[in-house]
């Protein structure tokens, strides 16, 4: 039963990590729009008018928290 003394702190640690990850996700608006991203893979190329957007920057996640 001494293995409990290792496993229980490990589960507590897992909870702390999971909560921290979740807080990060909430703070970065990952749960704000649950509808639009679902159709993201179905998108054609966006219609291009005016100056075209650089593709490399498109996938960049937001770096700023509000």
Partner 1 sequence: MSTSTASTYAASTDAAGTYAAWGHPQLAAQVLRRRRDGCSEIALRVESLHDPRQVLWLEQRIRALPGVQHVAIDRPARRVRVVWDAQRTSLPSLLDNFSAAQCPAQPLQLDSIDDARSREQHDALKRLLVAGMCAMQVMTYAFVIYIGVVDFVDFSTRHLFRWLGLITTVPLVFYSAQPFFAGAVRELRERRLGINLPVALAVALVFLASTFNTLRGSGEIYFDSVSMFVFLLLGGRYLELRSRHRSGALGDAVIDAAPLLAERRRADGELETVAAITLLPGDRVHVAEGGTVPADGMLESACVQVDEALLSGESRPLRRVRGERLIAGSVLLSGPAELRVEHGGAATTMARLGALAARARQARSLLGGSDREIGRFVGRILLLTALTALGWLLVEPARAFEAAVAVLVVACPCAFALTRPATLTRALGVLAGRGVLVTDGSALATLAQVDHALFDKTGTLSVPQLDRRAVEPLRGDTLEHVLQLAAALAHESSHPLARALAEAARQHALPLRAQSVQVSAGAGISGEIDGRCLRLGRADFALAPSGQPVSADTAGALLLADAQGAIAAFHLDEQPRADARRMLDALRADGIVPTIASGDGETRVATLASRLGIDNWYARQSPADKLERLQAARRDGHLTLAVGDGSNDAPILAGADVSAALTSGTELAQAHADLLLLDGRLDGLIDARVIARQVQQVMTQSRRWSLLYNLCAVPFAALGFVPPWLAGIGMSLSSLVVVLNALRVGRNETPVRPDPASPAERIRELRA
Binding test (CB under 8 A) with partner 1, winner from 3, 6, 10, 58: 58
Least distance between partner 1 and beta carbon 6 (Å): 13
6 contributes a contact to partner 1 by CB under 8 A: no
From the number of C-beta atoms within 10 Å of its C-beta (0-12, 13-18, 19+), residue 28 rates as middle
Which helix or strand (DSSP H or E) is residue 13 part of? helix 4-27
How many other CB atoms are found less than 10 A from the CB of residue 4? 8
Distance, in Å, from the CA atom of 26 to the CA atom of 10, rounded to the nearest integer, reads: 24
7 near partner 1, judged by CB under 8 A: no
By the criterion CB under 8 A, which residues form the site for partner 1?
Answer: 1, 4, 8, 11-12, 15, 18-19, 22-23, 26-27, 29, 31-33, 35-37, 39-40, 43, 46-47, 49-50, 53-54, 57-58, 60, 62-64, 66
């Amino acid at each position: 039963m001494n293995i409990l003394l290792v496993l229980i702190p490990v589960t507590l640690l897992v909870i702390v990590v999971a909560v921290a990850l979740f807080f990060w996700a909430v703070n970065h608006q990952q749960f704000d729009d649950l509808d639009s991203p679902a159709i993201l893979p179905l998108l054609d190329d966006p219609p291009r008018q005016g100056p075209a957007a650089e593709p490399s920057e498109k996938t960049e996640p937001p770096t700023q928290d509000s």
